[in-house]
Amino acid sequence: MTHTEPLPARAALPVDLDEAAHRCLVAGFEGTTVVPDTLKRLIDRGLGGVILFTRNIRDAEQVRRLTDTLRALRPDLLVAIDNEGGGIGHLVTAGAPEVPGNYALGVVDDPALTARCADALAGHLASLGITVSYAPVADIQQQADNPIVRTRAFGTDAGVVSRHLRAWIEATEARGIASCAKHFPGHGGTLTDSHHELAVDPRPYEELDLEPFRAAIAAGVPMLMSAHVVFTALDENRPATLSRRILRDLLRLELGFDGVLVSDALEMKAIADQYGEAAGARIALAAGADQVIVAVPDLGVTLECRDAVLGALHSGVLAEERVREASERVRRLSERYAESSLAVRAWDAGVGLEAARRAVGGQKPPRVVTGAHVVDLFPAPHPALNWGGEDLLTAVHEVDSSATGTAVSGEPEDLGALVDGILRRAEGVPLVVATSDGGLYPWQGRIVDALMGRRPDGVRVATGLPEGGALCSYGRGKVNLRAVAEVLVGAR
């Protein structure tokens, strides 16, 4: 049953325990200016945090007013957001700095440059009154067919990933923003996106990607986020988010992490379809999580999760000591990252484009391709990550107004008609054909083969991971696309 109002505190639960239970929750909500009454009541009872999404963002001034309103209700409320960079974020309309994304930074492999990009993102968060950034990604891109990590990772090598994590965490900390390395103990070895179904990593223990998380802990990362992934070498039955063996025995006892462990969003199918959000909240806290995220704007789901936790405390299924321990960690984090009253110093607004330019690699075109017809093939934006669907044609047109193009964001109904139309429009001008993770989307390969078979002079570009020696941007953030466009038309 979905409740529309918070339940009254159970008589058997002390007020401080009720507050502790609420502190273990992070809630999403609808709205840009008005805080829903249900959310106000949750905050009044001790809600630990809120997570903002694009639905909560209009512009910088509005976000600042919203965070002020939230914190006026409870000064120690954590205000969080996903803020990875490279197009993975929700603050575009609020003036977020454009940075190229992790993989491109790993390709450049200059930790000082990574720190400058992280500083720009963290400085912007501080100016908006946001205190928690659910970044950086600590996963290693291990599987060529992994559908969810890819250019969100700093690379395929544990050493590269580890040193860039340290740079990111330290720069974010210097801004007084809490960083959160994710997704423990690593999502890069799966062939499944846990947003859509349960993911499994079958590798033996010695092959798991723990080194970056050790590096993050050594760098003082204040938060980690768990993965909704079953690691058969660690726990054959439960995903990491719900596993005591992983959250307590491995993370707390073996790796020595004593910061706040937050779950990935409970409404992701790997949890919601297998267990349900409410049971997921109860099991995750019992297993060792300190906070659980309910990101959907329907606060009824948050209430169901809250009620499951209170009910488990009341019945003794969930130990009081476990909830108090989790709540105390969240309380310490809230105190440490309470919003500063100091003015926010400026950040380097140009560092992202600098980084993206340094990252462009692969096969350079044999000649400048001004006036080209640009074909940009890419999958539909991932709904949870909020990549905005930027296209290469727009980036090329900014530096070459004579360019034309075609953007294709999904498998066409009539491939032959599409190809014929493109070739008519590209007659007599250079042809550029860009793909994005073409290996995951066979329709892209079919279009490329058809076009290049009739136009072997076409220039190939990859806007995701490298593909067949093509000119590569290593990401689809705006600055990634701008940097590769400049190389194509000889603008730098």
Q: How many CB atoms lie within 10 A of CB 412?
A: 15
Residues 265 and 267: their CA atoms lie apart, in Å, by 6
Pairing of strands 291-294, 25-27: parallel
Contact 381, 54 (CB under 8 A): no
Q: Cis peptide leading into 379, omega within 30 of 0?
A: no
Of the candidates 264, 290, 391, 437, the residue annotated as catalytic is 264
**Three-state secondary-structure class, residue 35:** coil
Closest alpha carbon to 105 in 160, 148, 68, 55? 160
Count of positions (residues) in the chain:
492
Residues 250 and 256: their CA atoms lie apart, in Å, by 8
391 is catalytic: no
Helix axes 60-73, 111-128, angle to 10 degrees: 70
Q: Label residue 5 exposed, middle or buried (CB < 10 Å: 0-12, 13-18, 19+).
A: exposed
Of the candidates 124, 164, 195, 373, the residue annotated as catalytic is 195
Three-state SS letters, 117-168: HHHHHHHHHHHHCCCEECCCECCCCCCCCCCCCHHHCCCCCHHHHHHHHHHH
62's enclosing H/E stretch is helix 60-73
Residues 440 and 354: their CA atoms lie apart, in Å, by 29
Query: Which residue has 């050493």 as its token pair?
Result: 159
110 is catalytic: no
Sequence-ordered strand ranges (E) for 328-394: 373-377
Q: What is the DSSP letter of 251?
A: I
Question: Residue type at 150?
Answer: R
**Phi, psi at residue 80, to the nearest 5°?**
-120, 165
Residues 470 and 436: their CA atoms lie apart, in Å, by 11
Q: Active-site positions?
A: 195, 264
